[in-house]
Every structure is written in C-alpha cells, then in structure tokens.
Amino acid sequence: MESTKIERIKELTELLTRASRAYYAEDREIMSNFEYDRLYDELTALEEETGMVLAGSPTQTVGYEAVEELPKQHHETPMLSLGKTKSREELKDWLQDKSGILSWKLDGLTIVLTYREGRLEKAVTRGNGEVGEVITGNARTFKNLPLTIPYQGELVLRGEAVITYQDFEEINGKIQDEDAKYKNPRNLCSGSVRQLNSEITARRNVRFYAFSLVSGQDKEFDNSRQAQMRFLGEQGFAVVEYRMVDRENLLETIQYFEQKVENYEIPSDGLVLAYEDIAYGQSLGRTAKFPRDSIAFKWADETRETRLLEMEWSPSRTGLINPVAIFEPVELEGTTVSRASVHNISIVKELALGIGDRITVYKANMIIPQIADNLTRSGNLEIPCKCPACGGQTQIRQMNETQSLYCTNPDCAAKKIKAFNLFVSRDAMDIDGMSEATLEKFIARGFIREFADLFHLSKYKEDIVQMEGFGEKSYGNLIDSIEAARRTNLPKVIYSLGIAGVGLANAKVICKYFDHDIEKIQNATQEELAAVEGIGEVIAGAVVAYMQNPQNREQLQNLVKELDIVIPMQAPNSQTLAGKSFVITGSLNHFANREELKELIEVKGGKVTGSVTGKTECLINNDISSNSSKNKKAKELQIPIITEDEFMEKYL
C-alpha cells in the first residue's frame, strides 16, 4: 500500500508540474483550476501521510521559471504563494481574536515595483518566486500606474496587473481568427505584460492594483497594514479594495465580496485575509512555501450535476476542431448554462467523457462554464474520424504534451470560410461588404477557391446580383471595395495569409527585417526568422512551414499578381527618426488619419506608441491647449506637445 502511495505522489508531482509550466510559462491550460486544486490537495495529503516530498514538488515550489526572452532578476524578498482554504470557519479560526484586512485576490500577473526619488525605476514579474522577468518598459504603459510619486525615498511594493472583462471582450472581439482568441483575461494579461514590444502592452489596457507594501525607506506605519494601504493610495496607486474585519464581522464581509464578484469588472478568484498587526504577522514566520501572516480564501465553486447530451465539434481556420460539451441546462451563479468548452482531446480523455454521463459543472472564477468532474466516466465518447464540416479525415496531433483534433482536408469548407474571413478583415485586406455569410455563399457556389479569386468576382456578376441580399448597388459597392484593396502593403498581405501566430504587428517586424521583399520572406530559413526580434522559434517555424508548402507558394504568387504592393522607400539617410518614440492624438490636417502618419514615422525608423511615457520624444496634437489625459501626462513628464505642422517642420 505504501509503495502505491509513493507512486501516486510521483505521478501527481509530474502531472501538476506540467500543468504549472503550461499555465505560468506558456500561457495555456492543460487542466481546469478545479482539477488542479483537487489534485494539489490530494498530493498535499499524501505527502503529509507518507512524510515523503519529492524534490521539485509543486507543494514546495512557487510558480515556474522565467521565460528566456526577457531579462531575469532575483527578488530581494522571496515572493511566496499563499496557503488557501475554501472554508469560512477555517478562516475564522485562522484570524482568531485578531483584526485583519480582507481584500480581493485578483486573477492577473503579480508585479514588484521599485521607486527611487519619486520615479519608477524597476518592474519585475513574480516569475518562480525567486527570479522574475524585468518588464519595466511595459509597466510604464499600464493605464493607471503613476510613473512619479510624491514620496522620494526608496519604495518597494507588490500588486496585480490585470485586464478587465470588458477590455478582454473588446480585444477578443477584434480578433477574427477563432484560434487566436484568448481563453481568459489572465492569459491575455500575462501575454500582454511580458511582451517584448511595449507598444503592444499599451494597446491592451493593462491596469495595476497595489496589494502590499514591501518596504518604505525611513517611513513608519505604526505597525498597521491599513496605514500602509492608505499610504499607497496617497502616492497615486490604485489599491485593491479591502475591508477591515474581525471575528465578528468576517462572515458578513465575505458575503459582501461574494455578492459583488458576480458583477465585478476585474477577474478575481477569491479573497486574501492578512493580519492588521504587521509585527504579529511577521513573528509567525513562514513555511517552505507560505507566509503565515496571510491566507487566501478561494470561492467554493458552486457545482451542479447534469447529463452530457452531446459533444459539438467546431472546426476552425487552422483545422483545429474544438470540442464543446452540450448538457442539460442548469442554474449556475444566477444564470442558465448548457454548454462548456472542453478545450482539447487530452481533457476529453482525462475526464473519460461519454454521451449520457452524469457530470458536474461549475463556473471558473464564477464566470466561465467548465466541467468539474465526470461521475460516470464511461469513456465511450467517439472522437470523430471525419470533419463535421467537410467529411474529410481527422487526425489527433500532440503538441506541447497536449492532444488536439485536426481536420486534414486542405479544402475543408470551414477552414476556407474562416481563412477568407481573416483575409478580408480590416487589419488585413480590408474588403467592405464581404461578410462571413457572403463568403460562405461564394465558396459554396465555387466563385472563390483561393485568395486571388476574390479579385475576379466580376466574372459572376449576373449570378451575384440575383443572390439574396444583393443587387446592382450592393454588387457595385463590393467590387469597388475589392478594387480599392488591390493597393496595399506587404505587412497586411503577410498577416492576411493567416499563418499561425503571425499578427499584424509581427508581420510588420518581419517585413521590415527582410526589406519588404516577399521573396526573401518566402525563402527565409527558420534560423533567420527566429533571429528577428520578437518572433522566436514557434512563429518562425509556422512561417517556414507555410512558405515551403508548394500549394501555398503557388497561391501566394497568384495573389501577388493581383495586388499593387506599396514598398516604403528606405534610402540610406531615410532613418532620421530611428530611436525616437512618438504619440499621436486628435484629428490631423495633412494626413488622412493617424495610421497614415504612423506608417510614415515607422518608415523613417521611429515608433508610435499609445501612451505618453518618459521615453516619448513628443506628443503630436493639433489642440495643444486641450485638457486631454495625454496632454496632462505630457505636461506632467515635461514631454513637448507639438502641432502637426511643427512636427513636419522639425522631423520630416
């Protein structure tokens, strides 16, 4: 029996380590939070029972190792995880007769900030608790983070970088490719904070909420954690919402947060309770992993038992077929739910799903429906061997230890519709009037088989004007939009191809590196592409795989013949704005829009960001006297505010 328990410890240690690596270092999930917590608790109990803890056990380590792309730095004070409970009575027993601070446990990315002489000097992610990633440039773009503060001594604090549900929905809504959409705000925030290009971070509306003060040089707080929180608020930081509690009002205060979380705009996966008496909390010391002055309270997930009715298999542009569980409707957290994404084949197998099984479902962070457990575990679910959209053969592929289902038919209708939908989208070829429904009709009738065919739709005028929703005027508008789309630039063309992982920003970087020469890009090796800043091995591999496919090369050549690709002129002395960063706001007089001016600045080697920082060369705004937030920030940082005419005279 003892050997069986030891084997289970080894199995759980390896499984939870892989899940932690996926979550913290790779921004993906191979199991639900519910399942992770259940297995973690099982491992903890087995370790206590047997007295055996393996080296590298997730109960003894914190987070995961920092990724390679960003500079690393050791934390002066280790960043430990928190012990946790889902029991309100345990929380009361932990607090005893002391007073405490109860606050949100926000679900984002923990950051350590250091200020010296009133200025932000350094921002470092939590990483593995001992070593984090330096993201100072990105932190300067956080929407609500003060770059300068009144306090002039050295100040070190911790907080959570988060993205609100509203911003998450808006950002995901702009992504045409279903495969590229983010699963939850936490993953989006993690990817945004750890970008190599701070301009991307600035566009993501990342916010920072302080939750603890690590040290304040020559500053006394009368042994009060609440005084520390007030001090941070006085310095201009958004401080996580908190309430003072004692044994008498603790349960009532938990209920307050519980009612509020249903409509709270910031992702939260529970609460944190900390002793108000700083000295008392510090006197308790720490375990190998947890501090004893605070504890996390995780919401006891409301689960409902229901019956699995069917599994919907949803094909996407890349051929990935996503399993979506359809079950008998149940009430969860005040709403009726009847479907939940199962994410991949690995999770289908882990849950041993079968039609008719009794399953339990919950809402992750009280928001996203998930399957918690399968009570029946029949394992009789048939993985489709044919694509539900085209009838083509499917294949289970394993990547990064995760099995997923793919359609192998290159002519799959679902792939084509999603691919064409990306191609005509605004950031790609920008063809107005070409909805997904219209594309579906054109594909079904054989009007379009590859991208170049879109530029020959005039051959089918008689058929199109007779189609429902079309007429002479609609047809004319569509053809005009198609003709206008012929004149474009290479980054938009590369992005429109739908290569996995290549967004418009990456496409711009690649095109600039290869001198906007499409042949150089087509013939680039994986090593050459991986050397491009911000690209890396995975994206490089995807580009090479796409370009080396004979059918893709032929279709790209056909497409290029239809286009007038504008190549930016880059004479030897044209990089006059290299190393300079600009911000543009307001309306313009000499340019059609801000995007046109931005492209001109980029051609000359400069950068355009969304937020004014200490590194901004100048803010371009024709309304210099306005009280806009960008003007205020520029004045605060003593960044010049100049008009469009002044910019042209000085820099162009």
Whole-number pLDDT of residue 282: 87
Question: Could you give the C-alpha distances from 600 to 175, 570, 590, 595, in angstroms and in order?
Answer: 25, 11, 12, 9
DSSP 8-state assignment for residue 134: B
Torsion of CA 249, 252, 257, 262, to 10 degrees: 180
Cα Rg for the chain, rounded, in angstroms?
A: 27
Q: Which residue has the higher pLDDT, 389 or 512?
A: 512
How far apart are the C-alpha atoms of 120 and 142, rounded to whole Å? 12
Rounded distance between C-alpha atoms, residue 126 and residue 77, angstroms: 11
What is the mean predicted confidence (pLDDT) over 14-24?
Answer: 77
Neighbours of 227 (CB within 10 A): 16
| Cα gap 226→212, rounded to integer Å | 10
Question: How many angstroms separate the Cα of 254 from the Cα of each of 88, 265, 277, 494?
Answer: 8, 18, 20, 51
What average pLDDT score do residues 525-547 get? 86
User: Rounded mean pLDDT of the chain?
Assistant: 85
The pLDDT-based confidence of 26 (bands split at 50, 70, 90) is low
DSSP assignment of 176-190, as one string? Answer: --GGGS-SSHHHHHH
User: Which one-letter amino acid corresponds to residue 372?
Assistant: A
Cα(353)–Cα(365) distance, integer angstroms:
23
Report how far residue 315's alpha carbon sits from residue 313's, in angstroms, rounded to the nearest whole number.
7
Average pLDDT (299-321) is 84
Residue pair 548/568 in contact by the 8 Å Cβ criterion: no
Measure the CA–CA gap between 197 and 445, rounded to whole angstroms.
43
What is d(CA 622, CA 587) in angstroms, rounded to the nearest whole number? 7
The DSSP code for 593 is S
- Residue at token pair 């608020």: 233
- Residue 62 scores a pLDDT above 60: no
Which tens digit of pLDDT belongs to each residue from 105-130? 999 999 999 999 888 999 999 887 78
* Local confidence band at 18 (pLDDT 50, 70, 90 cut-offs): confident
Mean pLDDT of 611-619: 88
Report the 10 Å Cβ neighbour count for 208: 23
* pLDDT of the residue at 613: 86
**Range 387-412 average pLDDT:** 84
How many angstroms separate the CA atoms of 647 and 652, rounded?
A: 7
What's the mean pLDDT in 555-563? 94
Mean pLDDT of 546-569: 90
What pLDDT score was predicted for residue 64?
A: 46
Phi, psi for residue 290 in degrees, rounded to 5:
-115, 140
Give me the mean pLDDT over the 60-64 stretch: 54
Average pLDDT over residues 430-440: 85
CB 193 within 8 A of CB 125: yes
Over the stretch 251-302, which tens digit does the pLDDT of each residue have? 999 999 988 887 788 988 899 999 999 999 889 887 766 788 899 998 777 7
Report residue 247 as tokens: 């044994």
User: Which residue has tokens 């027993």?
Assistant: 93
Beta strands in 126-206, from DSSP E residues, in sequence order: 131-133, 155-162
Per-residue pLDDT, 525: 92
**Which is more confidently placed, 168 or 572?**
168
The Cα 551–Cα 209 span in angstroms is: 50
pLDDT higher than 70, residue 469 = yes
pLDDT band at 67 (very low <50, low <70, confident <90, very high): very low
Mean pLDDT for the stretch of residues 529-553: 86
Helices (H) and strands (E) in the chain, counts: 24, 24
Answer yes or no: is pLDDT of 68 > 60. Answer: no
**pLDDT at residue number 111:** 94
Q: Nearest-CA neighbor of 265 among 158, 185, 189, 362?
A: 185
Average pLDDT, integer, range 340-352:
90
CA 651 to chain CA centroid, nearest Å: 36
Least confident of 209-218, 355-364, 375-384, 626-635: 626-635
pLDDT tens digits for 232-254?
988 889 999 999 999 999 999 99
Decide: helix, strand or coil at residue 42: helix
Map residue 67 onto helix, strand or coil. coil
Q: How far apart are the first and last CA of the chain?
A: 78
Chain-centroid distance, C-alpha 56 = 28
pLDDT the model gives residue 496: 92
Taking the mean position of all CA atoms in its chain, how far away is CA 106? 15
| pLDDT, average across residues 133-150 | 87
Percent of the chain with pLDDT over 90: 33
pLDDT of residue 415: 73
Do residues 321 and 298 make contact, with C-beta atoms less than 8 angstroms apart? no
User: Higher confidence at residue 645 or residue 122?
Assistant: 122
Active-site residue numbers? 105
Give the number of other CB atoms < 10 A from CB of residue 289: 17
Residue bearing the bigger pLDDT, 362 or 100: 100
Q: CA angle 327-330-333, nearest 5°?
A: 130
Confidence of residue 66 (pLDDT cuts 50, 70, 90): very low
Query: For the residues 357-374, what does the mean pLDDT come to?
Result: 83
